[in-house]
Amino acid sequence: MFIDFEGIDGSGKTTLSNLLASRLKKLGYKVAHAREGGELQSPTARRIRELTRDAKLLEMCPRAEFFLNLARDAQQLDEVIAPALKRGEVCITDRYLYSQLALTGGGRGLKEEQLLPSCELASQGLWPDLVILVDVDPDLARLRKRLGKVQSGKANDSDSRKGLVGAGLAVRVREAFLAQARKDPSRWIILENNDQPLRVLEQRLVEAVVARLEGREQPVQRLVPAPSLPSCVASVDDVEERFFQAVDALEAREPQLAAWLLNGIPGLPAHQRRLAYAERLPGLVARSLNGLEDDTAWTLRDVLSASVPADVAEGIGFVTSPRSHALRQRLYAQAPAAVLEGLKRQDSPEAWALRERGVKDGHLAAVLLGLAGVDGDESWVIREAGMQRKLYSEVARSLGGLTTERAEALREALIPHDRLAVLKSTTGLETPVAVGLREQLEKGALKLVLRSLTGVDTPRAWAMRERGAALTKEALDSVDGMDSPAAWKLRASAARRWPATVVSSMRGLPLVAETRALLDRILEEQAGKLPVLRNAYAVVAQARALEQAQRPARALAETLSVDAGRQEA
């Protein structure tokens, strides 16, 4: 029997396919997994996959990508799948030709009827007996994928070619998979992986597959029904309660994700949960303190610094208080790279003392990554050293936020070496290099192009955002914290397509009538979606924290005003 698993990146198909293989072996079946442990079993197929993922090959057209992916699957078929089936084994694949139809047709926009003949040629008539579509909300899949990178130490890895297109690609690919499943319900089973414990999914999957192996057909296409929306929708007034109810429910089945969702969220309820998670998940708790400056956050950092120093350093964020300087000094010996990379936009004597120490200790690359936004003679000496060492990507990223002629000239020189790193360095800028790279890379690296527009308020930037919003959510990432009429217009028009990102783009804005109205509208329409709840509460919590912090200043201003009035009288 030939069983194929399909789904968007981060859906859980690799985990579930390997769990199924293990369970079937325990039940006495002979099983071959063509991508056991997440690695393609054919060396040739692995080499082809590296080529299709290479972010330097941005000009690769969809047709070329399609034929390379077909070559990968054809090689897996000849070398792994067909021999296993001839031996009478159950053969499991993690992606097959359906993925190429979904990616190139649904994702890239080519016509499926033009792709099918080539897929038939690659398959040699051999198609799966059963296809398991692991279906998941793309926003949730992205959170899980990001968490997985953090836990595996790959948080700073570059995007693949596919990732550079933007998060909208996953939405289109998912829609294409669901369309394929609807056309062939007897072959496809849909396994919804949004809010069920892994053990439940695994058991239902095993039961369904064993039923097929024994010739017992199942009448329903969905193994786990799609979640129904709750009868009571959330609003700004009760989003805190709804969010923490969702987090507590999630903690029982995905504790790591529950801790990760607290990232950057201020306030006592979030801290209470961090304290509960701290012993089991110290690294994630430390990272979740990103940018927080209250006493509880500092106490947690002090407690966790001995066990997870790099995570604590990452979780300081851009805080520049005396306490942050003292903590970085203590953490340097255990986590020099994380400390040095966290010095972005810091030009203080304390920051420079750490940089000098880092250079002497041989951490030039990390020092460069922490130089973004810093100008002055000392910084340029370090950049020149980086150029001599051919640390082109790190030098490019050290130019983040700089608009001087010297910075632009260096960007020009670095484009042949790493144009994506140069593009990242132009975030928030509208320099000639920025404009030129955006026009050049809009098609192949739309995600980075749109994010580089963050804070840019020009007609050219708004035109690019409007084009991008039809394709991917990063167009909304680029209006984070913006309070202009154009920003509100874009949010309103994209609220149904990219609700979670529209919500997160309001972080840092006060809870005025316009903010509340759009939040309430999205919460009503997207009730029950965890990424939306999370982002909405982050907006509300930060707005409340800022309002609370401003109260003493307002009270002092009012007192001074009253005193001045009395003196005049």
Would you list which residues are annotated within the binding site? Answer: 7-14
Task: Provide the residue count of the chain.
Answer: 569
* Crossing angle (nearest 10°) for helices 513-525 and 530-568: 170
Residue 433: half-sphere exposure toward Cβ, Cα within 13 Å: 30
Spatial CA neighbour of 469 closest among 175, 106, 171: 171
Structure token digits, residue 449:
């192009």
Residue 558: count of CB within 10 angstroms of its CB: 10
Distances (CA, A) of 526 to 251, 296, 521, 533: 21, 33, 9, 9
Spatial CA neighbour of 186 closest among 221, 230, 238: 221
Residues with Cβ < 8 Å from 478, sequence gap 6 or more? 450, 451, 452, 453, 454, 455, 456, 461, 465
Rounded Cα distance between 387 and 393, Å, is 10
The tokens 């439940």 sit on which residue? Answer: 200
Rounded Cα distance between 466 and 477, Å, is 12
Q: CB pairs under 8 A, 24+ apart, for 360-366? A: 361/336, 363/336, 363/337, 364/389, 364/391, 364/394, 365/337, 365/391, 365/394, 366/336, 366/337, 366/340, 366/341
| Cα-based angle 179, 148, 331 (whole degrees, multiple of 5) | 155
Spatial CA neighbour of 100 closest among 87, 127, 120, 119: 119
The distance from CA 484 to its chain's CA centroid, rounded to whole angstroms, is 26
Q: What is the dihedral of CA 352, 358, 362, 367, to 10 degrees?
A: -60
Structure token digits, residue 557:
């201003």
Return the SS3 of 12: coil
Residue 567: count of CB within 10 angstroms of its CB: 7
CB 435 within 8 A of CB 408: no
Residue 151: half-sphere exposure toward Cβ, Cα within 13 Å: 15
Distances (CA, A) of 186 to 91, 102, 113, 182, 491: 19, 19, 21, 9, 41
Residue 176: half-sphere exposure toward Cβ, Cα within 13 Å: 25
Spatial CA neighbour of 431 closest among 403, 459, 457: 403
Binding positions for ATP? 7-14
CB 43 within 8 A of CB 37: no
Residue 529: count of CB within 10 angstroms of its CB: 23
DSSP 463: H
Return the SS3 of 134: strand
